[in-house]
Amino acid sequence: MTISKPTEPAPSAGEETDDHENEIRVNMVSLGCPKNLVDSEMILGKLGQEGFVLTPDAVEADVIVVNTCGFVESAKEESVNTILEACELKQESETEKKVVVTGCLGQRYGEELSVEIPELDAIVGLGEYDSLGTALKGLFGKTDGGLHLQVSDPDKACNAEVGRFRLTPAHYGYLRISEGCDNPCTFCSIPAIRGRFRSKSIEMLEAEARELVASGASELVLISQDTTSYGVDIDGRFQLAELLRRLAAVDGVEWIRLLYAYPAYLTDEMIEAIAELPEVLNYIDIPLQHISDNMLRHMGRRMMETKTRALLDRMRDRIPALMLRTTFIVGFPGEDDREFGILRDFIRDFEFERLGVFPYSKEEGTPSAGFEDAIPQELIDARLEELMLLQQEIAFRHNRKRVGELAEVIVDSPEEEHDDPAGGAPFKAAISRSYGESPEIDPVVLITPPGGEPCDEESPAAMPEGVLELSCETPAPASPLAGERRTVEIIGSRGYDLIATIAGSGDHERKNSGG
């Protein structure tokens, strides 16, 4: 792991509360994936209950907690840069300030971090969050100056994640259904970091869902390392379909979105549940990583090309208007021109609605780190660019097909002025998502205000004095507010994003145009 100096300020998360004398002010910086975000929400909720004051201002905080990601090299670098920036704030502070590291990087590299960044005050691993408040209080008044290192085996039973301090907008929330992973992917360090696969009980998840709904969430985004394996560790049965039915019955749940669906365990029962339940969106995130049998074997994947293609065809056949999101790794050791060509042709022919490509990252401690036939970085970069340009054509073509579609959307942020990334004039729009867009990772639907239509092309005659002149324009619908659901008509696109106008509040077929 390379330690380097930070380049840009890191964002902070949290909500400012009234400061009280003798209370410890905590600033949280949350990095990485939605699973890490849930950890951050749990940490902040626990600290808030214990009397800590939460602040978005790292400068005024007594403690800066950096919840790190350690999955791939780029994420490690971002985490280290953020830690170093927090340490610089500590050195510049005129008052006593502490810097604490949590999350995957702390779990995996606690000993190394304690040596390479001696300015740190504490490193607390995964599964230790219940005792984090005690650890923070113990940092103040210490005379030995030593670092508090608390990292243990991550294979602990899943606890109910209630009492969270929500960091997402109120109208959606992440529901983590399991922890850890048992899949043998040769490129992945997650099992070493987060431990073996452990599912929560359905009853526990129902209680979490009810709490999220009570705090304003109508959309539940299901996450884990492997959502399709849900329940198999409890009694040997894949229970995701049953879980979806139970969550759909929770009062107030309108949308359920499924991420991280491992393809080998996506059963026909799960497909039927997605197709049949109105609350479950016709959207699935199913990371495939590659399609060549040779590469899939080297990657330690459990499903080869023929079965993968059959599964995808079955899903599209049975789930109306399905939005499929996937990710691929390019540049894995041994990926020659033939293997890359198989992947490129598959992407071109299948036309995924949503697709991401990641360059292979050599992670120490994983089997693939010792593989021969490494691909030169410049070739990896060229292949990545080729695939992303190919997918851009597919995505833009898909956007054009959606013009004229009526869609139910949920508004993420109200109307405000945005800069045009293409260099054009700024424009006003509210940011929303239909069933086909997952928060944070997919494009958005920009709702633009409609223009009024005059009664005729000529200017109307002047009205006699004293007569009230009424506008002949159709009144524009009220600007949508965050969390509202609106029916919109898609009228165009701006890059990957869709452009829409409010079409009214009429009902339409949910499973085909909005979940």
In tens, the pLDDT along 81-103 reads 999 999 999 999 989 999 999 99
CA distance 107 to 72: 14
Quote the strand ranges of 207-341, DSSP E.
219-223, 255-258, 280-285, 323-330
Contact predicate 223/179, CB 8 Å: no
pLDDT at 145: 64
- The mean-pLDDT minimum among 22-36, 255-269, 415-429 falls in 415-429
Nearest Cα neighbor of 198 from 183, 175, 179 is 179
Say if 161 falls within a structural domain. Answer: no
Which domain CATH number covers 134?
3.40.50.12160
Domain membership of residue 332 (yes or no) is yes
Is the pLDDT at 8 greater than 50? The verdict is no
Average pLDDT, the chain: 88
What tokens were used for 298? 């080297």
What is this structure's pTM? 0.88
| 345 shares a domain with 239 | yes
> Taken in order 38, 40, 46, 49, is the CA torsion positive or negative?
negative
CA-based torsion, 470, 451, 433, 34: positive or negative: negative
- Domain assignment present for residue 482? The answer is yes
Tokens 């579609």 locate to: 405
pLDDT value of residue 464: 45
Question: 289 and 214 in one domain?
Answer: yes
The CATH number linked to 421 is 2.40.50.140
Q: What gap in Å lies between CA 328 and CA 346, rounded to an integer?
A: 11
Q: b or e along 72-99 (b: 16 or more beta carbons within 10 Å of the residue's beta carbon)?
A: beebbbbbbbbbbbbbebbeebeeebbb
- Who contacts 98 (Cβ-Cβ below 8 Å, separation ≥6)? 62, 63, 64, 90, 121, 122, 136, 139, 140
- Residue 322 near residue 282, CB atoms below 8 Å: yes
Contact assessment for residue 110 and residue 103, using Cβ atoms and an 8 Å cutoff: no
The pLDDT of residue 500: 96
Cα angle value 425/426/431 (rounded, 5°): 140
For residue 198, the enclosing domain spans: 172-399
Query: How far is residue 498's CA from residue 339's CA, in Å, rounded to a whole number?
Result: 34
Helix count and strand count (H, E) for the chain:
14, 19
Contact 257, 433 (CB under 8 A): no
Q: Are residues 199 and 135 in the same domain?
A: no
pLDDT tens digits for range 311-370 = 999 999 999 999 999 999 999 999 999 999 999 999 999 999 999 999 999 998 999 999
Q: Domain for residue 431, yes or no?
A: yes
Count of the separate structural domains present in the chain:
3
